[in-house]
A = this chain, B = another copy of it.
């Protein structure tokens, strides 16, 4: 396999087209999607591939599907509570599961992902594995544990995913990461994942971890994600650095991670080239290397493009954790 550039790795996560690159292509491309809306809210909440819209066992009165203007609307009353909208969504998804309409629904997790209206107002929630069918934004946290070695410089705690994991088995991973369910805040989610995946005690996280930014990109799912190809998954990943003492050893806690090892910066860069990283973890580690002065405008030819592509302004309303 040819060595991958860092930009190629980014493009595996941010692969939805940009209007500015070719406005005519973009207009044509958008005709492949329906907008997902909720009655009473003007904003588009996600894009659904037309073939997904065709397959869904829509329930009359609950849903309005306008094939002319390509809009799918959840028809709760405009002033309905989130619970009412959630029931409409659950009813539809239950029917789709029953009819085995979509492969992605086999990955049911009983984990709810939130959907927001403009201003960060909570609108409703839906089962995590169904979210790419509606193309809504999904939220998560990623963190990198590292040490500053006097001789070898920065070293990163890198995990290797279990060989038996359903998605991206055996690939390299950040120190910890995970999705944010309804009601969770980034910091609380990060503390939880640090403990669950990397056995980092809460007190250590609170002392050593720092919020350092957010990665945003627009992912078109491919075969490696599992399930239907071409579903949209715009993602927002809040990022934390955890500066650890040299003698702090990261250990797997659950069965998702095979092992953890301290990697030098050179080892990390080489493994990126070899395509060994789970794509959205590569995004986070490339950002880490940029913020820590390892990847610079003078040694990374695609510096500007990488930064812009990993901080994409997603075209849907977003969460606010303080109003």
* Chain A interface residues (CB < 8 Å from chain B): 18-20, 120, 185-187, 210-214, 216, 236, 238, 290-293, 296-305, 307-315, 318-323
Cβ-defined contact, B298 with A214, below 8 A:
no
**Known pairs A186-B297, A214-B307. 6 more at Cβ < 8 A?**
A185-B297, A211-B293, A303-B320, A304-B318, A304-B319, A311-B311
Q: How many copies does the complex hold?
A: 2
How many whole Å from A118's CB to the nearest CB in chain B? 11
Cβ-defined contact, B322 with A211, below 8 A:
no
- 7 CB contacts below 8 A, A to B, read A19-B20, A185-B298, A211-B296, A213-B291, A236-B304, A302-B320, A304-B319
Cβ-defined contact, A293 with B212, below 8 A:
yes
How many whole Å from A121's CB to the nearest CB in chain B? 12
For A187, A296, A300, A318, the residue with the greatest tally of chain B CB atoms inside 10 Å of its CB is A296
How many whole Å from A280's CB to the nearest CB in chain B? 17
The CA of A315 and the CA of B214, in the complex, are separated in Å by 22
How many whole Å from A263's CB to the nearest CB in chain B? 20
- Known contacts: A18-B313, A298-B185, A313-B312. The answer to whether A214 contacts B304 by CB under 8 A is yes
> Which of the residues B291, B298, B312 comes within 8 Å of A322, measured between beta carbons?
B298
How many whole Å from A94's CB to the nearest CB in chain B? 32
Q: With a CB–CB cut-off of 8 A, which chain B residues contact A314?
A: 308
How many whole Å from A183's CB to the nearest CB in chain B? 14
Q: With a CB–CB cut-off of 8 A, which chain B residues contact A20?
A: 19, 313, 315
Q: With a CB–CB cut-off of 8 A, which chain B residues contact A323?
A: 301
- A291 closest partner in B (C-beta): B212
> Which of the residues B211, B307, B308, B318 comes within 8 Å of A305, measured between beta carbons?
B318
Q: With a CB–CB cut-off of 8 A, which chain B residues contact A298?
A: 185-187, 321-322
Cβ-defined contact, B322 with A299, below 8 A:
yes
Cβ-defined contact, A301 with B313, below 8 A:
no
> Which of the residues B238, B296, B304 comes within 8 Å of A297, measured between beta carbons?
B238
How many whole Å from A313's CB to the nearest CB in chain B? 4
The CA of A297 and the CA of B141, in the complex, are separated in Å by 11
Q: With a CB–CB cut-off of 8 A, which chain B residues contact A236?
A: 304
Q: With a CB–CB cut-off of 8 A, which chain B residues contact A315?
A: 20
